[in-house]
Amino acid sequence: MLDFAELWSPIRLTLELATVTTLVLLVIGTPIAWWLARSQSRWKEAVAAVVALPLVLPPTVLGFYLLILLGPEGPGGWIAGLFGGRTLAFTFEGLVIGSVFYSMPFVVQPIRNAFEAFGERPLEVAATLRASPWDRFWSVALPLARPGLLTGAVLGFAHTVGEFGVILMIGGNIPGETRVLSIAVYDYVETLQWTKAHILAGGLLIFSFLVILTMMLLDRRLGRRLGQSTP
């Protein structure tokens, strides 16, 4: 008889990880995207390149650096020390930190695109109406960038669900804490428990298909909207 609690634990954990990661990324990714879209700084593209690095870097490289950074000699160990721990590796929080780096380009890029897409005009108009910069950002820029925010959130969530290499390297495979879906599938395949592997893998396949389909539909809607706003 299949133990559904055993299968549910990595699913719940993965959803939690992806949700927390996406929220964190929206909070820190939006200002970064805003700056990248608006700034005239000569360092702009260098910063953009750093944000985009995980697109190119093997997860093992990221995992290796994270293992050191999260460890007792790195900043992660220092932070863990504040809470009586000694490392952030093998913790849910450690996975969130890893996932934030790993999924950042997937969130920042669409938001930056959205900020760039509507151009200076709406903000200038708002400025002539005496909207403060803060007000312009909240009442004009953010609502206009909503499709980009949505795209970023969906992509960030999905990419975190699909994360494997980084978690394999910093997770420690602890049930309920760091044993996420991709790791569970890997384990089931390696131990020849293919029924369980099939259930989880099939579920991920359907999930991924739905995400990509959603993205394509969103993309078309976004495209139409931009088409309308371009003179």
Partner 1 sequence: MSLLTYRKLASLLVVALTMAGLLAVAPGQAKAAEFRVATAANFSDAAREIGALFEAKSGYRPLFSFGATGQLYTQIAQGAPFDVFLAADQARPERAVAEGLAVADSRFTYAWGRLALFSRDKGRVTGEATLHEGDFTKLAIANPLTAPYGAAAVEALQALSLRDALTPKLVQGNNASQAFQFAATGNAEVGFVALSQLAVHEGGSYWVVPAKLHSPIAQDAVLLTAGKDSEAAQAFMAFLKSDAARAVLARYGYES
**In contact, 102 and 160? CB cutoff 8 Å:** yes
Least Cβ distance, residue 97 to partner 1 (angstroms): 14
Question: Would you call 98 exposed, middle or buried from its count of C-beta atoms within 10 A (0-12, 13-18, 19+)?
Answer: buried
Q: Where are the alpha helices (DSSP H) in 73-193?
A: 75-82, 92-117, 121-128, 133-135, 142-144, 146-161, 165-170, 181-190
Residue listed under structure tokens 């669900």: 161
Counting contacts by CB under 8 A, is residue 111 touching partner 1? no
Q: What is the amino acid identity at position 108?
A: V
> What's the token pair of residue 9?
């634990």
Counting contacts by CB under 8 A, is residue 187 touching partner 1? yes
| Interatomic CA distance for residues 207 and 212, integer angstroms | 9
Counting contacts by CB under 8 A, is residue 69 touching partner 1? no
- Backbone phi, then psi, for 177, in 5-degree steps? -120, -50
Piece in contact with partner 1 (CB under 8 A), picked from 81-89, 118-126, 137-145, 201-209:
81-89
| Interatomic CA distance for residues 231 and 228, integer angstroms | 7
Piece in contact with partner 1 (CB under 8 A), picked from 39-47, 80-88, 157-165, 201-209:
80-88
State which of positions 146-175 bind partner 1 (CB under 8 A): 151, 168, 172-174
Binding flags for partner 1, 7-46, as an x/- string (CB under 8 A):
----------------------------------------
Question: In this complex, which beta carbon is closest to partner 1, that of residue 10 or of residue 126?
Answer: 10
- Given 9, 14, 30, 109, the residue binding partner 1 (CB under 8 A): 109
**In contact, 98 and 107? CB cutoff 8 Å:** no
- Given 23, 61, 68, 199, the residue binding partner 1 (CB under 8 A): 68
- Given 13, 17, 70, 181, the residue binding partner 1 (CB under 8 A): 70
Q: What's the gap between Cα 199 and its chain centre?
A: 25
List contacts with partner 1 (CB under 8 A): 67-68, 70-73, 85-87, 89-90, 109-110, 113, 117, 151, 168, 172-174, 187, 189-192, 219, 222-223
